[in-house]
């Protein structure tokens, strides 16, 4: 049988190539190190957002550039993207204080240098081999509460970063193998949940310890220079695959724009505008026509914006190895001062909503080039919801509790089939925290947890369904805060597919139901015992003309209660 040559996999290895068997073995071993670090953190953390939802990641990073070398399969891709910037930021500070040294671990949450938002604490540990800096091991994880005006830190009315959370620049949390108690004291003093913080920090440090142990073991079996050569080879292969994928797209300019509801302070939409240009085997992503940085906390840093592009491209081209080579064939035009390149002290706590919109516009621009390539829009918001109060029972009277969680929705239809119903946001591989865990940890009861009927965008392949969550307060009093999106701009379909349902949040006061004035964001909702919150999340957009949908699939949708009989294409 004649084999057809695949241009993505050169048949003639370069002189620097590692033999395929060794490459495959070491690739698996390196990924396993990151996977084991992830697992250690998930099993050790106190905070359900890490332990259950897996809002964290680990990786190995280049000693000279800080670029991503290896990531685990279960860590959040958005973290892996921004951690390259985080490693560089820690290295730059260390250079002013004597350099990176064995036995040190650097900690910080600066969202402008290391990306994302202040809840995400980054730990960077240099790894030395024979006295020389060999690479970095790094950990990122979402801590439950780090001060600021709102428990859980998603403050929809913040206009400065200091109103969101305590700001920690790169500092040594471990110096010469010794925990720095002064730094720990500052961290514990700036949280409503010091035990949770202490547990999560220890879990991240344990994950890094295991990573060092596993890397030590690997370098006892294989020559250190060979392992570095493999890391570089994996990056080159990622670049070659990306170039092949880009070259397969038609040359041209593809423009798309979508909008955020508002910034939580000023009720005006904010555009995320992309011009995607394809020329040969290079891609340019030009966001220069996007909205200017804003008053409220939907701003993101440029580091976060680039990481969001990394995640979107990995969705489009899932066979490309996950390392810095993904971006080596991509040029960026992201001027300073945009909502996606904001500068201190503009608030950035709601970064998740903005990067989801960036992913949406990349998908839609790619669909203009090749509609078989992309997905319709997913539900486009994590609906960050926080409830907090004080315990009133005899055993725990006066104890502070803070429930923070995020919620799922429908994913977009695509050329191969329907979108996923009640999935998690496409920025991550995290899971939606189980209601049993939330009910066990906090004084709440879920009175509804269900798929949302008629929420999917119809098409030849429909979007996934959103969800309905209804939460009853069991304590005497609590405050609730919501930071969401897609209440005004529905998830769009592609290739003629219809929009998914918009986001709908309601809360109960004195037997009356209310919605937030800004639709998707609200601060300081007062709840009494027995009152409820209800969140109806968006469905995904549809793919293709709904008239082309298989009648058997329509019948199955109606029989399953996904769509009302005879209401083909209806969205609420």
533/446 Cα distance (integer angstroms):
10
pLDDT band at 75 (very low <50, low <70, confident <90, very high): confident
147/118 Cα distance (integer angstroms):
10
Residue 228 inside a domain? The answer is yes
Domain membership of residue 453 as a residue range: 375-572
Q: Which two tokens stand for residue 21?
A: 């068997």
451/335 Cα distance (integer angstroms):
41
- Looking at the structure, tell me whether residues 379 and 232 fall in a common domain: no
Residue 49 inside a domain? The answer is yes
pLDDT at residue 392, rounded to an integer: 92
pLDDT at residue 6, rounded to an integer: 39
108/89 Cα distance (integer angstroms):
10
Between 404 and 430, name the one with better pLDDT: 404
Q: What is the DSSP letter of 291?
A: P
User: Which helix (DSSP H) or strand (DSSP E) does residue 360 occupy?
Assistant: helix 351-369
569/571 Cα distance (integer angstroms):
6
Does pLDDT of 411 surpass 90? yes
Does pLDDT of 246 surpass 70? yes
Tell me the CA end-to-end span of the chain in Å, nearest whole number: 54
Strands 282-286 and 330-333: parallel
DSSP, residue by residue, 415-473:
TTBPPPSSB--TT----PPPHHHHHHHSSEEEEEEEE-TT-SPPSSBPPPP-EEEEEEE
357/377 Cα distance (integer angstroms):
9
Residue 332 inside a domain? The answer is no
Residue 315 inside a domain? The answer is no
Final residue in a domain of this structure, among 218, 236, 254: 236
pLDDT digits 0-9 by tens, 247-301: 999 999 999 999 999 999 999 999 999 999 999 999 999 999 999 999 999 999 9
* Edge-to-edge strand ranges of the sheet holding 171-175: 68-71, 56-62, 132-142, 120-129, 105-108, 171-175, 178-179
Does pLDDT of 2 surpass 80? no
pLDDT at residue 9, rounded to an integer: 34
Final residue in a domain of this structure, among 211, 236, 261: 236
Residue 329 inside a domain? The answer is no
Residue 309 inside a domain? The answer is no
Radius of gyration in angstroms for the set of CA atoms belonging to the chain, rounded to a whole number: 24
Cβ-contact 451, 532 below 8 angstroms: no
CA distances from 417 to 288, 467, 560, 571 (A): 34, 20, 17, 19
Count of domains observed in the chain:
2
pLDDT at residue 568, rounded to an integer: 59
pLDDT at residue 429, rounded to an integer: 67
Task: Give this prediction's pTM.
Answer: 0.90
Count Cβ neighbours within 10 Å for each residue of 18-50 and write b for 16 or more, e otherwise. beeeebeebbebbbebbbbbbbbbbebbbbbbb
Q: What is the DSSP letter of 341?
A: S
The CA-based angle 463-469-470, given to 5 degrees, is 155
Strands 171-175 and 105-108: antiparallel
CA dihedral 178, 183, 185, 188 (to 10 degrees): -110
**Residue 264: left (phi > 0), alpha (psi -120 to 50), or beta?**
left
pLDDT digits 0-9 by tens, 322-377: 888 999 999 999 999 999 999 999 999 999 999 999 999 999 999 999 998 889 99
pLDDT cut 90: percent of the chain above it: 81
Final residue in a domain of this structure, among 236, 256, 283: 236
Does pLDDT of 432 surpass 80? yes
Segment 464-482 shows an average pLDDT of: 97
pLDDT digits 0-9 by tens, 8-62: 333 333 445 789 999 999 999 999 999 999 999 999 999 988 998 888 999 999 9
Residue with tokens 């040559």: 5
Residue 113 DSSP SS3:
coil
pLDDT at residue 428, rounded to an integer: 66
Cβ-contact 250, 369 below 8 angstroms: yes
466/78 Cα distance (integer angstroms):
23
CA distances from 532 to 37, 409, 474, 525 (A): 39, 20, 10, 11
Segment 101-123 shows an average pLDDT of: 93
Residue 171 DSSP SS3:
strand
pLDDT band at 503 (very low <50, low <70, confident <90, very high): very high
Cβ-contact 498, 545 below 8 angstroms: no
| Average pLDDT along the chain | 92
Residue 111 inside a domain? The answer is yes
Q: Which two tokens stand for residue 99?
A: 């350099």
Residue 190 inside a domain? The answer is yes
User: Closest Cα to residue 236, out of 427, 21, 67, 32?
Assistant: 67
């Amino acid at each position: 049988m004649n084999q057809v040559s695949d241009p993505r996999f050169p048949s003639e290895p370069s002189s620097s190539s590692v033999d395929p068997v060794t490459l495959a073995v070491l690739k698996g071993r390196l990924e396993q190190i990151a996977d084991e670090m992830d697992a250690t953190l998930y099993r050790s953390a106190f905070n359900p957002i890490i332990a259950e939802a897996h809002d964290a990641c680990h990786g190995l990073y280049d000693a000279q550039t800080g670029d991503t070398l290896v990531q685990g399969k279960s860590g959040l891709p958005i973290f892996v993207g921004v951690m390259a910037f985080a490693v560089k930021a820690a290295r730059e500070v260390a250079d002013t204080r004597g350099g990176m040294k064995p036995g040190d671990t650097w900690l910080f949450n600066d969202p402008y240098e290391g990306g994302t938002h202040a809840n995400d604490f980054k730990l960077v540990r240099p790894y030395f081999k024979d006295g020389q800096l060999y690479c970095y091991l790094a950990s990122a994880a979402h801590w439950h509460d780090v001060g600021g005006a709102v428990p859980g830190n998603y403050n929809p009315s913040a206009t400065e970063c200091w109103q969101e959370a305590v700001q920690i620049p790169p500092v040594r949390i471990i110096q010469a193998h010794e925990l720095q108690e002064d730094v720990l004291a500052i961290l514990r003093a700036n949280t409503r949940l010091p035990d949770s913080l202490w547990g999560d920090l220890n879990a991240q440090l344990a994950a890094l310890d295991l990573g060092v142990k596993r890397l030590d073991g690997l370098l006892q079996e294989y020559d250190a220079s060979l392992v570095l050569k493999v890391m570089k080879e994996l990056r080159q292969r990622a670049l070659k695959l990306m170039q092949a994928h880009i070259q397969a797209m038609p040359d041209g300019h593809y423009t798309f724009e979508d909008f955020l509801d508002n910034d939580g302070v000023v009720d005006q939409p904010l555009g995320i505008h992309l011009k995607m240009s394809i020329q040969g085997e290079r891609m340019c992503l030009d966001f220069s026509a996007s909205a200017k940085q804003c008053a409220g906390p939907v701003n993101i840093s440029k580091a976060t914006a680039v990481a969001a592009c990394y995640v979107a491209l990995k969705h489009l081209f899932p066979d490309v190895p996950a390392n810095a080579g993904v971006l080596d064939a991509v040029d960026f035009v992201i001027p300073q001062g945009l909502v996606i390149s904001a500068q201190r002290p503009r608030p950035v706590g709601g970064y998740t909503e903005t990067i989801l919109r960036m992913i949406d516009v990349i998908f839609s621009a790619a669909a203009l080039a090749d509609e078989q390539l992309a997905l319709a829009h997913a539900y486009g918001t994590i609906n960050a919801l926080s409830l907090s109060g004080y315990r009133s029972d005899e055993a725990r009277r006066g104890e502070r509790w803070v429930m923070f969680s995020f919620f799922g929705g429908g994913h977009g239809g695509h050329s191969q089939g329907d979108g996923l119903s009640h999935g998690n946001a496409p920025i991550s591989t995290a899971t939606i925290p189980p209601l049993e865990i939330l009910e066990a940890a906090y004084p709440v009861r879920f009175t509804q947890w269900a798929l949302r009927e008629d929420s999917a965008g119809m098409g030849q392949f429909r979007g996934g369904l959103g969800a309905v969550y209804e939460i009853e307060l069991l304590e005497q009093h609590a405050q609730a805060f919501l930071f969401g999106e897609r209440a005004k701009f529905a998830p769009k379909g592609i290739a003629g597919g219809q929009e998914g349902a918009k986001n709908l949040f309601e809360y109960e006061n004195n037997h009356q139901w209310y919605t937030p004035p800004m639709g998707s964001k609200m601060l300081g909702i007062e709840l009494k015992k027995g009152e409820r919150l209800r969140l109806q999340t968006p469905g995904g957009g549809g793919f293709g003309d709904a008239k082309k949908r298989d009648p058997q699939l329509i019948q199955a949708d109606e029989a399953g209660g996904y769509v009302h009989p005879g209401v083909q294409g209806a969205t609420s």
